[in-house]
Structure 1
């Protein structure tokens, strides 16, 4: 399991297995968010199985699937509402963690500076500097 901490409220990860969910709960995560569509690729663990493991380990489960490379403003709106209401800390996962990081970054742009967002993402191992125009656009939605 490759958990990458963005800040105190959220961490991201590449695809989790059912077995990883118990470990995530032991690490103190309260909410598990899947940003990957079910059956996006062959051999991917089923979301129903991961959801069941989340509930069995006392975690909240949120399914917000987003197609890679196709993150729309309504996806950011849904992520923003979720992150504000979720029991924290949150662990979000997708295929590589990038999609989750982008959703977080665009959501955070509404109340966090672009420089801080890019820095937090970089510290977690994700270069989102190419999102600068989209981050600026989201910042305008304050």
Structure 2
């Protein structure tokens, strides 16, 4: 598990295994957000397996699969809803990048693009190609 803190309330990670979820709960995390589509993983890390393991560990669970290149307004809204709840959260996908992308898009219009891109870069994610989309979403918010 490669946790990278984006905000005090949100870490993103590469693929997490069901066996790692009790340790996340013990570390104080309350929410697990799965951004990895089932067709990218085997049954041992499927949505249903992860949901069961998360619930057994006492974590709230959200499944918001992000297929590369297919960002939808519904996906951004669902991610924003998952991030709005109380408690520390972990969002994951294959590398953590897609989870960082969705986080940045949920913050468009609430934080400057430079700030969002800088935060992601500090965590090791180059989201500079996302700037036009962040700015477009921000202009709709205003």
**Structure 1 length normalisation: TM-score?**
0.92
CA displacement at 1:41 relative to structure 2: 4.1
CA displacement at 1:70 relative to structure 2: 1.3
Bigger helix share: 2
Residue-by-residue CA offset, 1:14-68 (whole Å, 9 max, x unaligned): 1110111111111111100001111324576122121111111111011111212
Q: Secondary structure at the match of 1:96?
A: coil
Q: Name 1:128's counterpart in structure 2.
A: 127
Residue-by-residue CA offset, 1:63-115 (whole Å, 9 max, x unaligned): 1112122112221122122212x222110011111110000001111211111
RMSD (Å) for aligned C-alpha atoms: 1.4
Return the alpha-carbon distance in structure 2 between the equivalents of residues 80 and 107 of structure 1. Answer: 5
Aligned ranges 1:112-123 → 2 under 5 Å: 112-123=111-122
Q: How many residues align?
A: 141
Conserved in 2, the CA contact under 8 Å of 1:60 and 1:87?
A: no
Which runs of structure 1 show a deviation greater than 3 angstroms over 4 or more consecutive aligned residues?
Answer: 41-44
Conserved in 1, the CA contact under 8 Å of 2:9 and 2:88?
A: yes
Unmatched tracts of structure 1, length 5 or more: none
Unmatched tracts of structure 2, length 5 or more: none
